[in-house]
A and B are shown apart, each in its own frame.
Chain A
Amino acid sequence: MSETGSKVEWVYSEKLKEHFMNPRNILEDEETYQDDGKGIVGNMKCGDEMMIVIKVDKEKGTITDCKWKTYGCASAIASTSILSEMVIGMTLEDAYNISPKDVAKELGGLPIHKVHCSVLGDKALKAAINDYYKRNGLQHKVKEEETRVVCHCMNVTDKEIEEAVLDGARTFLEIQEKTKAGTVCSECKEDILNLIEKYRKEHFD
Chain B
Amino acid sequence: MVIRRVYLDNNATTPLHPMVKEEIIKAMDVFGNPSSLHQFGRAAKVMMVEAREAVASFIGASPEEIVFTGSGSEANNTVLSILACPSKQCSYFESIKFNKVITSVIEHPCVMETVKCLAGRNTVVKYINVDRYGKIIMDELEEELKRGPALVSIMTANNEIGTIQDIKKIAQLAHRYESLIHTDAVQAVGKIPVKVNDWGVDFLTLSAHKLYGPKGIGALYIHKNTPFCPLIRGGHQENGRRAGTENTLGIVGFGKAVELRKAEMTAEHERLLSYKEKLKEGLQSKIEHIHFNGHPEDCLANTLNVSFPGAEGEAILLYLDLAGIAVSTGSACASGSLDPSHVLLGIGVPIEYAHGSIRISMGRDTAEEDIDYMIEVLPGIIKRIRSMSTVDAGGIKNE
Determine the distance from Cα of A184 to Cα of B339 in the docked complex, in whole angstroms.
Answer: 6
- Chain B: interface residue count, which band? 20 to 34
> Please, how many angstroms separate the alpha-carbon atoms of A137 and B336 in the complex?
42
Among A21, A28, A49, A154, the residue within 8 A (CB) of B390 is A49
**A73 pairs with B390, CB closer than 8 A:** no
Any chain A CB within 8 A of the CB of B226? Answer: no
* Contact between chains at A11 and B336 (CB < 8 Å): no
> Which listed residue (B315, B340, B351, B387) contacts A72, Cβ 8 A?
B315
Tell me which residues across on chain B come within 8 A of A70, comparing CB atoms. 388-390
Chain A positions within 8 Å of B, measured between CB atoms, are 1-3, 5, 11, 17, 20-21, 23, 26, 28, 40, 44-51, 69-77, 113, 116-117, 153-154, 180, 183-185
Min CB distance B201 to A, Å, is 35
Decide: B332 and A1 in contact? CB cutoff 8 A.
no
Pairwise interchain contact A23-B334, C-beta atoms closer than 8 A: no
Asked whether any CB of chain A lies closer than 8 Å to the CB of B352, the reply is yes
Task: State the CA gap A40–B390 with chains docked (Å).
Answer: 9
B5 adjacent to A2 (CB under 8 Å) = yes
Q: In whole angstroms, what is the CA distance A5 to B321 when docked?
A: 10
**Dominant secondary structure of chain A at its interface with chain B:** mixed
Per-residue contact bits, chain B 15-28, to A (CB 8 Å; 1 contact, 0 not): 00000000000000
Q: Given A117-B333, A153-B338, A49 and B5 touching (CB < 8 A)?
A: no
A17, chain B: closest CB distance, angstroms: 8
| Contact call A71/B333, Cβ cutoff below 8 A | no
Distance between Cα atoms of A81 and B332 in the complex (Å)? 21
CA distance A185 to B318 in the complex (A): 25
The 5 closest A-B pairs by CB, nearest first: A73-B333, A73-B314, A1-B5, A113-B336, A71-B389
The answer to the question of B74 belonging to the interface, with a C-beta cut-off of 8 Å to chain A, is no
* Interchain CB contact under 8 A, A26 and B388: yes
Within 8 Å CB of A153, what residues of B? 338
Alpha-carbon separation in the docked complex, A23 to B388 (Å): 9
9 interchain pairs, CB-CB under 8 A: A1-B5, A1-B365, A2-B5, A46-B338, A47-B331, A49-B391, A70-B389, A72-B315, A75-B333
Contact of A47 with B389 in the complex, beta carbons under 8 Å: no
Q: How far is the CB of B5 from chain A (nearest CB, A)?
A: 4
Contact in complex: B338, A154 (CB < 8 Å): yes
Please state if B332 and A47 are interface contacts (CB–CB under 8 Å). Answer: yes
CB-defined contacts of B7 to chain A, threshold 8 Å: 1
Cross-chain contact of A77 among B334, B337, B355, B388 (Cβ < 8 A): B388
Residues of B within 8 A of A3 (CB): 5
Specify which of B334, B387, B388 lies most central, judged by the most chain A CB atoms within 10 Å of its CB: B388
- The answer for the CA separation of A79 and B6 in the assembled complex, in Å, is 29
State which of B337, B339, B365, B390 has its C-beta within 8 Å of the C-beta of A71: B390
Q: Do A44 and B338 touch (CB < 8 A)?
A: no
B5 touches A5 (CB 8 A): yes
Q: Chain B CB within 10 Å — which of A2, A28, A40, A77 has the most?
A: A77
* B384 and chain A: residue at smallest CB distance: A23
Residues of B within 8 A of A72 (CB): 312, 315, 333
- A46 vs B300: C-alpha distance in the bound complex, in angstroms? 30
A50 touches B336 (CB 8 A): no
B255-279 CB contact bits vs A (8 Å, 1 = yes)? Answer: 0000000000000000000000000
Residue B117 interfacial (CB < 8 Å): no
Tell me if B333 and A69 are in contact (CB < 8 A): no
Give the CA-CA distance A21 to B336 in the complex, in Å: 21
Contact B339 A50 (CB under 8 A): no
Contact A28 B333 (CB under 8 A): no
CB contact under 8 A between A44 and B388, given known A73-B314, A73-B331, A74-B314: no
| Closest A residue by C-beta to B7 | A1
Q: How far is the CA of A13 from the CA of B49 in the complex (A)?
A: 49
B332 closest partner in A (C-beta): A47
Cβ 8 A contact of A47, one of B319, B355, B365: B355
Most buried by A among B6, B340, B389: B389
B321-356 interface bits toward A, Cβ cutoff 8 Å, 1 = contact, 0 = none: 110100000011110111110000000000110010
Interface contact A184-B332, CB-CB below 8 Å: yes
Query: Is residue B310 within 8 Å, beta carbon to beta carbon, of the partner chain?
Result: yes
The distance from the CB of B60 to the nearest CB of chain A, in whole angstroms, is 34
Select B322's contact among A2, A21, A26, beta carbons within 8 Å: A21
A160 CA / B256 CA spacing, docked (Å): 55
Q: Is the CB of B333 within 8 A of A47?
A: yes
Taking CB atoms, residues of chain B closer than 8 Å to A17 are 322
Q: A44-B355, A72-B333, A184-B338 are in contact. List 15 more A-B contacts (CB 8 A).
A: A1-B7, A2-B5, A26-B387, A26-B388, A44-B390, A47-B331, A47-B338, A71-B390, A71-B391, A73-B333, A76-B312, A153-B338, A180-B338, A183-B339, A184-B332
Q: How far is the CB of B273 from chain A (nearest CB, A)?
A: 22
- A49 — which chain B residues lie within 8 A by C-beta? 390-391
Shortest C-beta distance, B120 to chain A (Å), equals 13
Most-contacted residue by chain B among A50, A70, A76 (CB, 10 A): A70
Determine if A28 and B387 form an interchain contact, defined as CB atoms under 8 angstroms apart: yes
Task: A5 to B388: give the CA distance in the assembly, Å.
Answer: 28
Contact B391 A73 (CB under 8 A): no
Q: Chain B contacts of A26 at CB under 8 A?
A: 387-388
